[in-house]
A and B are shown apart, each in its own frame.
Chain A
Amino acid sequence: MAELGIAKVDKIYHSRKGDVHAVRALDLVVKPGEIVALLGSSGCGKTSTLRMIAGFEEVSNGSITLGGKPIHTLPPAARGVAMAFEAYSLYPPLTIGENMSFALKSSKLPQAEQDKRVKAMAGMLEIADILNKYPTSVSGGQQQRASLGRALVRDAGLYLLDEPMGQLEPQLRAVLRGRIKHYLREHKCTTILVTHDQTEANALADRIAVMEGGVLQQYATPAELKARPANLFTGTFIGEPPMNVFTADAKVSSDTVAFGVEGGATLTYPAADFSQSLREMLARTPRIALGIRPHALHLGDGPVKGKVMACQWLGDQTHVAVDVAGRTVVSVSQERVSRAPGSDVALTVAAGDLHLFETSSGKAIAHGGTLA
C-alpha cells in the first residue's frame, strides 16, 4: 500500500505517419489504499497510462512516483506493481493454479502459506475447481479470473487491473465486484482499474478519473461526477441514458430567471432558485448549454412541449423518447408510464436539476442553481 503520484505525464508515440499524443500533461494522485478507475472510451489514453505505470511504455515527459519514490525509470520488475491483463496473458505451459502461485514463488513465503493464499483467492473468484486445468482448456471468463487472481494474490504496492471483468457473465460480474471491492479494502490495496464500463467504475472505485483524447477531464467520486460534472464531456459521458443538452439563452429579471431553449420553449424559474453570483454571470453571458439528465426530465405539466416517439417499460423504469422541435430528448421515469407514440406531451424540470455549461469551451458554469 503506497501513494501513487503521476505528475505532468505525457505519452507521445512516434510513427512514420506522425506523432500521436496519447496522454497529455496528466496529473493524478492515488492515495494509499484508494481504488481509482480510469474511465474513458477506446483510445482515450487510459491503457497507455496504465502501461506507463507498469513500465511497459516509457514516459515521454513527467514523472511517476510510488510511495514517494520515482519509479518511471525503473524496469517493471523493480516497481513492485502487480497487474491483471485484459488479454489474460497466462503462461500456457502452467496450470491455472501454477499460474496463480507462480508470482508468489519469489516472495519467500512458506509453501503452505502460498497454497493457502492461492486457494482462498481461487475460492473468491470461483475458479477453485479448475486449478489443475491448463489455460487453453478453460473459458475466456475463467482465464480472466485466473489472470485477476494471479495479480491480486501477490503483495504489491500497487495493483493495476486492465478491464478485469470484461469477459465475465453479467450475473457473476455483479457478485465478483462486491467481493473484489471487499478484498481490496480489507487488504488496503492501492488499485488502478482501467475500464470503459461506468457501472463497473461506479461499483468498484472510490474515485474515477474520466479521460478523453489523452486529457484528464475530471477526477472525482462517482456521486460528484454525476452531480457536478466539470464539463460537457463528463456530463454526457457519465450517466445512462446520457444527459440531454440544449442550447439556451438566459433572461435574468428581478424576480425570475428564464431560459429560452432552442425550439421555442421557455423554462422560467423564480430568481431565488439561483445564486446572486450566478444571476450576475448569466446576465453578462446569456448564451449557455443546458444539460438535463433524463431522470430529472419529468412528464407532466411543463413548458417544454413535444410528441412521444417511443415509450419503453424496462421492468424497473420507463424510457420515453420525445421529439421536441426536431430534437430527440429522453425522459426516464421510475413509474410505469404508457403514452401512445404521436401523442402530445409536456416536460418539466426543476431548477435544482439544471446543469449549465459554457457553449464554447464546454466548461461547467453551474449545477442546480449555484456556480460550479
Chain B
Amino acid sequence: MDHSSSLEKILRSVAITLVLIFFLFPIAWIFLMSLQTNETILRIPPSLAFTPIIDNYTALITGQLRTAAGSLQLNFMQNMFNSVLLSVCSVALSLVLGVPAAYAFARFKFRLGEDIAFTLLSFRFAPALLVLLPLSLYFKTLGLTNTYIGLIWVYQLICLPLILWIVRGYFEDISPDIEHAYRIAGNSWWKTFTRISIPLAKPGIAAAGLLAFIFAWNNFVFALILASADKQPVTVGALAFVTASGIQYGQIAAAIIISITPTLALALYAQRYLVEGLSMGAVKG
C-alpha cells in the first residue's frame, strides 16, 4: 500500500467508486421512489426534480392506503412484526441448537458424524420448491399451517446449516488444549464450554447469526405458501401493493426501505464481526 504510485491510488478510487455506485444505486433510487407519488415515479422521461412527500410512509405506518380507487386497509406493520418475530426466534433457536452441535462436530469423532453434518448442509443446496409441496402436506396434517411455530421450524432449514458450518470451522480453530488447560484448573466441561469455547468463537457465532438473520429475513417462498396474511413477513406482505387498481410503486418502495432498515443496521453494527468471522473461521477451516 505504501509503495503504490498516485496513479494506482486514483485507479483504485475509481474502481471503488464504480462498485459503490453499482451496489448503492438501486437502494438510492428506491429511497427516492419512496418519497414520490405514483404519478411522479411513472412520468416519462424520469426526472430527479420532485417535491418529496412522506405519505407513503404514513400510509404504511397507519395502515390506511388512500388511492384514487378508494381506501385500502394495509397490515404492513403486522408483516413487519412477523418478520422480526420469525427471524429473531428462528435465529435464536438455531443458535441454541446449532452452536452445541457445531461444537460436537468439531470436537468429537463419532459414527456417521460427517454424514449427519453433510446432510444438514445439504438442506442449503436443495431448492425450497423441492420441499414445499411435501412440507405443505405435512403441515396440513400436523396442523402447523399458518402458525408461527411451523414457520420458525421451517426457517431452521435456512438458519441451522449456516450456523452449524460456520461455527464448526471456528471451534475447530480453537486448540483443544486451551479447553484442557481450563478443565484441569478445576472447571467442569460445561463451564469450559460456556466460559472458554463460546467466547473464543464469538466472532464466528456473531457472523453466522447475522447471516442467518439476513437469510431468514429475506425468505419469501416458505411464508408465501405455508402462512396466510396475518402471519406473513414483509417480503410477502409487499405483494399487497400489487392491487387491482394498479401497482403502488411509492408504497412498495417505502415498504422496502422500512424492511431493509433492520438488516442494514445490524450489518453495519456487526460489520467488524462479519469480516473477522467469515474470513477466519469457515473459510480457513
Bound: A187/B176 CA distance, A: 30
Among B178, B186, B189, B199, the residue within 8 A (CB) of A106 is B186
Bound: A54/B182 CA distance, A: 12
Q: Which of B181-204 contact A (CB under 8 A)?
A: 181-189, 196, 199-200
B180 at the interface (CB under 8 A from A): yes
By the criterion CB–CB under 8 Å, are A91 and B196 in contact?
A: yes
A68 at the interface (CB under 8 A from B): no
Among B184, B185, B196, the residue within 8 A (CB) of A55 is B184
Q: Which of A74-127 contact B (CB under 8 A)?
A: 75-77, 79, 81-83, 85, 87, 89-93, 102-103, 106
By the criterion CB–CB under 8 Å, are A89 and B175 in contact?
A: yes
A154 at the interface (CB under 8 A from B): yes
By the criterion CB–CB under 8 Å, are A54 and B184 in contact?
A: yes
B202 to chain A, nearest CB (A): 10
Q: List the B residue with the shortest CB-CB distance to A81.
A: B184
Among B177, B185, B196, the residue within 8 A (CB) of A87 is B177
B113 to chain A, nearest CB (A): 12
Bound: A103/B187 CA distance, A: 10
A47 to chain B, nearest CB (A): 11
Among B178, B180, B185, B188, the residue within 8 A (CB) of A103 is B185
- B175 surroundings in chain A (CB, below 8 A): 87, 89
A150 at the interface (CB under 8 A from B): yes
By the criterion CB–CB under 8 Å, are B196 and A77 in contact?
A: no
A237 to chain B, nearest CB (A): 28
Bound: A93/B199 CA distance, A: 9
Bound: A54/B196 CA distance, A: 19
- A106 surroundings in chain B (CB, below 8 A): 185-187
Q: List the B residue with the shortest CB-CB distance to A107.
A: B186
Among A83, A92, A93, the residue within 8 A (CB) of B184 is A83
Given A77-B187, A106-B186, do A83 and B180 touch, yes or no (CB 8 Å)? yes
- B182 surroundings in chain A (CB, below 8 A): 91
Bound: A81/B183 CA distance, A: 10
Contact-size category for A: 20 to 34
Bound: A76/B183 CA distance, A: 6
Among B176, B183, B185, B189, the residue within 8 A (CB) of A102 is B185
| Chain A interface, DSSP helix/strand/loop, else mixed | loop
By the criterion CB–CB under 8 Å, are A89 and B181 in contact?
A: yes
Bound: A89/B189 CA distance, A: 17
By the criterion CB–CB under 8 Å, are B180 and A154 in contact?
A: no
Most chain A CB within 10 A, of B185, B189, B196, B200, is at: B185
Number of interface residues of B (CB under 8 A): 17
A99 to chain B, nearest CB (A): 9
- B184 surroundings in chain A (CB, below 8 A): 54-55, 76-77, 79, 81-83
Bound: A89/B177 CA distance, A: 6
Per-position 1/0 for A49-74, Cβ under 8 A of B: 00000111000000000000000000
By the criterion CB–CB under 8 Å, are A85 and B180 in contact?
A: yes
Given A85-B181, A89-B175, A89-B177, do A77 and B188 touch, yes or no (CB 8 Å)? yes
Bound: A85/B199 CA distance, A: 21
By the criterion CB–CB under 8 Å, are B180 and A76 in contact?
A: yes
Q: Which of B217-242 contact A (CB under 8 A)?
A: none
- A83 surroundings in chain B (CB, below 8 A): 180-181, 184
Bound: A91/B176 CA distance, A: 12
- A56 surroundings in chain B (CB, below 8 A): 176, 180
- A77 surroundings in chain B (CB, below 8 A): 183-188
Bound: A102/B192 CA distance, A: 13
Among B178, B186, B188, B199, the residue within 8 A (CB) of A89 is B178
Bound: A54/B200 CA distance, A: 23
Q: List the A residue with the shortest CB-CB distance to B176.
A: A56
Among A75, A82, A91, A147, the residue within 8 A (CB) of B188 is A75
By the criterion CB–CB under 8 Å, are B183 and A75 in contact?
A: yes
A181 to chain B, nearest CB (A): 23
Q: List the A residue with the shortest CB-CB distance to B181.
A: A89
By the criterion CB–CB under 8 Å, are A75 and B186 in contact?
A: no
Bound: A117/B24 CA distance, A: 58
Bound: A75/B183 CA distance, A: 8
- A85 surroundings in chain B (CB, below 8 A): 177, 180-181
B40 to chain A, nearest CB (A): 55
18 more contacts with CB within 8 A, not counting A83-B180, A89-B180, A103-B185, are A56-B176, A56-B180, A75-B188, A76-B180, A76-B184, A77-B184, A77-B188, A85-B180, A87-B177, A89-B177, A89-B178, A90-B178, A91-B181, A93-B199, A93-B200, A103-B186, A106-B185, A106-B186
- Name A's B-contacting residues (CB within 8 A): 54-56, 75-77, 79, 81-83, 85, 87, 89-93, 102-103, 106, 147, 150, 154
- Name B's A-contacting residues (CB within 8 A): 175-178, 180-189, 196, 199-200
